[in-house]
Every structure is written in C-alpha cells, then in structure tokens.
C-alpha cells in the first residue's frame, strides 16, 4: 500500500489504525550531505535535520509491534548524531547493533582524503526482550566447506573446534587418539564437553583426528543438522547484499528512459533485512519510500507493506515499479525468491486533517475515521475493525462511544450528536464505566456520575498527534 504525502502527517494518520502492528520498519532518510538530488532535498542545516528526524522516529516507535524492529541507513555525516537521537527515543538498552554495509566495491580516486565505501544501518528493537532476529543463509562458498572425505553415511560435514575459551570444570581431561597420541586442551582453553560426552561422540563417529589420525581432535558438524543458517555479523559485503551501483543498474533496467536515483538501495539488501526481522504476512513499513525498493521486495517476499513518499516519484516510479512486480519482472531478487508475479496494491493520497484551520472537525472526516482517532487518543492502541456503531469498543473495562454524523440514523445536522436521555437509551448497553463523545450533553453532571458516564465534547476534548 504505497501512499503519497508528507510522511510526518501520514505517520500521524496511520497511528489510529496501525499502532503496535508493524513488525519491521526500514527507512533510508536523506543523509544531509549538503547535496541537491533530482528527487529530494538533501541540503538541510544540521539542526533542521535533527528537528526533522526526531518526531518521525517517535511516531515510528509507536507503530512498531512489541517484538518489532527499526532499521535506518545513514552515513558518517549524521550517523553518530542519529545514534544519540535513537538512544533517546528507543532507549539505549534497545540498541541492537550498527551494521556496516559495503555500498561500493571500488574506491573513489578523486576523494580528498579517504574514499567512502560504506554506510551504517542502525538497528533498534522496540523491546529487546521480545525481539528475535533470524539467521542468514550460507553462501555457496560457505556450503563448499562441508565435505565428506570419509564417506560418512550422515553426509557432508566440516570440522569444528572441540575446545572453548570459557572455563568448564568437566572439560579438563586427556584424549588418546587412534595412534596413541595424547591431547590436552590448548593453553587457557577447555574441551567444550565432558569426558562422558566426548566418548559418546567418539563411539558415534563424530570425532575426527584428521586424515592420518594424528591431528588434534575436532567435532564433525553435519550440514543436514543446520536448520536455521548462520548468525549474522555486522559486516555486510557488496558480494553478499549488493551495492548502490547494482541497485542503479536494476532500476535502469526497469526504467530505461527515466533518471534513476543517485544512491538507491539494492533489493538484496532489503531482502536480508526482511528475512532477519519478519515473516510472510507480517507488516513492513518504509516512510521514506524513494524509488519503491522496500515495497517491491516486501511484495515479492509475501509481506504486507506500507510505503510513504511525498515526492512526485510516488507516481512516476513507485507505482509503475509495483505494477512491473505484479506482472512478474525478473530483476533484483525475483529469481532468488522464485517470484513469478501476482498480487496487488492500493495507492492513497494523504486526506484532509481531522481539524480545519479554526479547530473545528473537518466536515470531510467521516464517522469511521474520527472514531479511529478517538479510540487511539483514549487507548493508545489501533482500532482493528472499522467502526460502524456508536460503541467503538471496550478497553480495560471502559466502553467508548461516539455520537457523530448521524450514526444513530438521524441525518439532520445535529441529529443524534447530542447526548440526551433518549439518545442514551438507544446506545448499545455496557455494564461499567462509559466515555461518550458528542457535540453537547443535555444530561446533568450528577446524573452522568450516577450512570458511570464521562462525557467529552468534540472537538474540544479530542486530542490528536
């Protein structure tokens, strides 16, 4: 679902519907490099850049699920300042790591001092105690390290160190090899198993002493036992996840007659991030959509997605690119993930604000949209279903109601929007505390208290971000 509009206002508009529901957020904000680009302005004062990014990060945090994560690409120009801001918004304990991405494999020989060939990817969890990071697949080169020189019936394997640096009391014993050669753990190290476990592995044929049976004992790690790939590290190379040049070439192939972005992100980079931080059908968000890479990759990987872009390229690049994805284009990660086409998307433009310039509820706002804003302002959670009755739902034992726009069937200008005894009798019942929003109230304060009702007047008591 790509949308066009200012991303700050768009994020505010998304909160009532998606707060706490987004599993993975990836953003590639302007790096503030004092450059003028074809498709966006990247020439802000440092203080302006900080003022731009801070409120957006606050909103993004609210949109994340409790086990969700935010990935932000940045370079050295603002990267260290961004880290401090994100520490403030997310808390330092929720900082996971700084991935260094090799965006270029060649050095710029015209650089004044040192050629810049990397970017940072700052990773934060909403709550690190609930966050889980996936694994990365082994490369073909890594797979080739598994061999089967002794025709082991369990298949290919590689030798792993049998010793470890962490103290283990039971890991201090002598091993006698097939040639009667004895082995002790290396200095300041210990066998990673007890003698009992070692003998069990030995009887199972899981211990190797090399081709001539006279080398230090090693443990066989079988390829078939590897279920979840490798734990990712913080250095992502051009060969693994691509670089800017590859991404530019892929875009040029999709839009041969268009001016492509100067520093696009490769699909394989986004694929790795989504693989590590989300699963099929999870919701992914990119509020600096740019050329549409995140949406394209999410679509191919079976994720639900929201992309926000304020520039004209929301129409000239993002929408045509997603149409090509649906048609089955074979660029980027298509072959790697077996993409053949299919699916669909919806394109939206940012609508009217809840309030007009004079603080009144905008007459263009329908009941369901106002209901979602009220629910979020009261509960700080998203309204998961479209409101169709005055009773919006119950939260923590309190029922919330909205009288607006003739929801009770009276289509006169003020019909049903004023809380009277007759209107109250027509509302869906709730045995407990009630909060009712309306234009006015004709029931006395004492009576409201007896009924367990808190009346709030729209628009004055309605808070929005």
Predicted local confidence at residue 87, as pLDDT: 98
Angstrom distance (rounded) from CA 185 to CA 289? 54
3-class SS of residue 283: strand
The answer to whether position 389 is within a domain reads yes
Q: What is the largest CA-CA distance in the chain?
A: 99
210 backbone dihedrals φ, ψ, rounded to 5°: 85, 175
Residue 396 belongs to some domain of the structure: yes
Q: 45 burial class (0-12, 13-18, 19+ CB within 10 angstroms)?
A: exposed
| 360 within a domain of the structure (yes/no) | no
Identify which of 116, 122, 131, 80 has the alpha carbon closest to the alpha carbon of residue 100.
Answer: 122
Contact 353, 361 (CB under 8 A): no
Q: Are 53 and 111 in contact (CB under 8 A)?
A: no
Q: Could you give the number of structural domains in the chain?
A: 3
In a domain? residue 311: yes
Alpha helices in 290-337 (DSSP H): 293-300, 313, 319-327, 334-337
* pLDDT tens, residue by residue, 233-242: 999 999 999 9
* Exposed e or buried b per residue across 179-214, where buried means at least 16 C-beta atoms within 10 angstroms of its C-beta: eeeebebeeebbbbbeeeebeeeeeeebbbbeeeee
Assign residue 158 a region: left if phi > 0, alpha if psi is -120 to 50, beta otherwise? beta
Q: What pLDDT is attached to residue 359?
A: 73
Please tell me the total number of residues recorded for the chain in this structure: 465
Query: How is 93-123 classified by DSSP, letter by letter?
Result: GGEEEEEEEE--SS--TT-SSS---EEEEEE
Model pTM above 0.85: no
* Helix/strand/coil for 443: coil
Domain-located, residue 47 = yes
Give the CA distances from residue 325 to residues 33, 38, 115, 255, 332, in Å, rounded to whole numbers and listed in that order.
Answer: 32, 24, 35, 13, 10
Specify whether 171 is located in the same domain as 292. no
One DSSP character per residue, 185-211 reads PPTT-EESS-HHHHHHHHHTT-EE-TT
pLDDT for res 39: 46
Same domain flag for 19 and 68: yes
Q: Residue 452's domain spans which residues?
A: 367-457
Rounded to 10 degrees, the C-alpha dihedral 320/290/20/120 comes to 140
Q: Pick out the chain residues at pLDDT < 70.
A: 1-5, 33-44, 227-228, 260, 262, 407-415, 464-465
Whether residues 38 and 8 fall in one domain:
yes
Domain boundary, last residue among 192, 225, 258: 225
CATH number at residue 282: 3.40.50.150
Matching residue, tokens 């279903």: 385
> What does the block give as tokens for 171?
């890991």
Same domain, 260 and 403: no
In this structure, is residue 355 part of a structural domain?
no
The backbone torsions φ and ψ at residue 202, rounded to the nearest 5 degrees and listed phi first, read -60, -45
One domain for residues 7 and 92? yes
The burial class, CB within 10 Å (0-12 / 13-18 / 19+), for 265 is buried
Question: Within this chain, do residues 87 and 213 fall inside the same structural domain, yes or no?
Answer: no
**Does residue 342 fall inside a structural domain?**
yes
Q: Does residue 153 lie within any of the structural domains?
A: yes
188 and 157 inside one domain: yes
- In the structure, how many helices (H) and strands (E) does the chain have? 15, 24
First to last CA, the chain: 22
436 plus 373 within the same structural domain: yes
Q: pLDDT tens digits, residue range 401-429?
A: 999 877 666 555 456 789 999 999 999 99
Q: End of a domain among 158, 191, 225?
A: 225
**Domain co-membership, 35 together with 50:** yes
- Is the same domain home to 324 and 452? no
Same domain, yes or no: 172 and 114:
no
Choosing from 287, 321, 349, the residue where a domain stops is 349
Q: Are residues 81 and 100 in the same domain?
A: yes
- In the block, residue with structure tokens 């048609």: 327
CB 391 within 8 A of CB 432: no
């Amino acid at each position: 679902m790509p949308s066009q509009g200012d991303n700050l206002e768009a994020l505010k508009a998304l909160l009532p519907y998606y707060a706490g529901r987004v599993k993975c957020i990836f953003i590639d904000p302007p790096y503030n490099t004092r450059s003028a680009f074809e498709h966006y302005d990247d020439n802000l004062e440092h203080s302006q850049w900080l003022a731009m990014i801070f409120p957006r990060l606050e909103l993004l945090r609210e949109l994340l699920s409790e086990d969700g994560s935010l990935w932000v690409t940045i370079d050295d120009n603002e990267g260290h300042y961004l880290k401090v801001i994100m520490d403030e918004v997310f808390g330092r304990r929720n900082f996971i790591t700084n991935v260094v991405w090799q965006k270029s494999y060649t050095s710029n020989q015209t650089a004044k001092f040192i050629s810049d060939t990397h970017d940072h990817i700052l990773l934060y969890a909403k709550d690190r105690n609930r966050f889980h990071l996936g694994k990365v697949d082994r490369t073909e080169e890594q797979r080739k390290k598994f061999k089967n020189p002794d025709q082991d019936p369990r298949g290919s394997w590689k030798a792993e160190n049998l010793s470890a640096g962490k103290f283990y009391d039971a890991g201090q014993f002598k091993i006698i090899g097939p040639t009667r050669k004895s082995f002790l753990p290396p200095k300041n190290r210990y066998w990673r198993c007890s003698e009992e476990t070692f003998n069990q592995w030995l009887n199972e044929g899981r211990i190797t002493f090399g081709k001539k049976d006279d080398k230090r004992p090693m443990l066989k790690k079988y390829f078939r036992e590897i279920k979840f790939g490798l734990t990712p590290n913080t250095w992502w190379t051009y060969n693994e996840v691509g670089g800017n040049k590859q991404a530019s070439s892929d875009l040029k192939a999709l839009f041969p007659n268009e001016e492509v972005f100067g520093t696009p992100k490769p699909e394989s980079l986004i694929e790795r991030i989504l693989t590590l931080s989300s699963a099929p059908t999870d919701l992914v968000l990119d509020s600096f959509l740019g050329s549409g890479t995140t949406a394209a990759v999410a679509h191919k990987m079976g994720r639900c997605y929201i992309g926000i872009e304020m520039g004209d390229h929301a129409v000239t690049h993002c929408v045509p690119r997603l149409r090509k994805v649906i048609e089955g284009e074979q660029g980027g990660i298509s072959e790697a993930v077996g993409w053949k086409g299919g699916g669909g998307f919806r394109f939206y433009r940012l609508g009217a604000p809840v309030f007009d310039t004079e603080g009144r509820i905008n007459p263009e706002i329908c009941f369901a949209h106002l209901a979602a804003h009220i629910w979020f302002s009261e509960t700080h959670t998203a309204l998961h279903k479209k409101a169709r009755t005055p009773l919006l739902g119950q939260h923590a034992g309190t029922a919330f109601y909205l009288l607006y726009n003739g929801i009770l069937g009276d289509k006169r200008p003020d019909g049903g929007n004023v809380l009277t005894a007759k209107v109250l009798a027509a509302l869906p019942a709730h045995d407990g505390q009630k909060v009712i929003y309306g234009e006015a109230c004709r029931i006395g304060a004492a009576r409201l208290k007896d009924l367990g009702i808190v009346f709030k007047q729209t628009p004055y008591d309605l808070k929005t971000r």
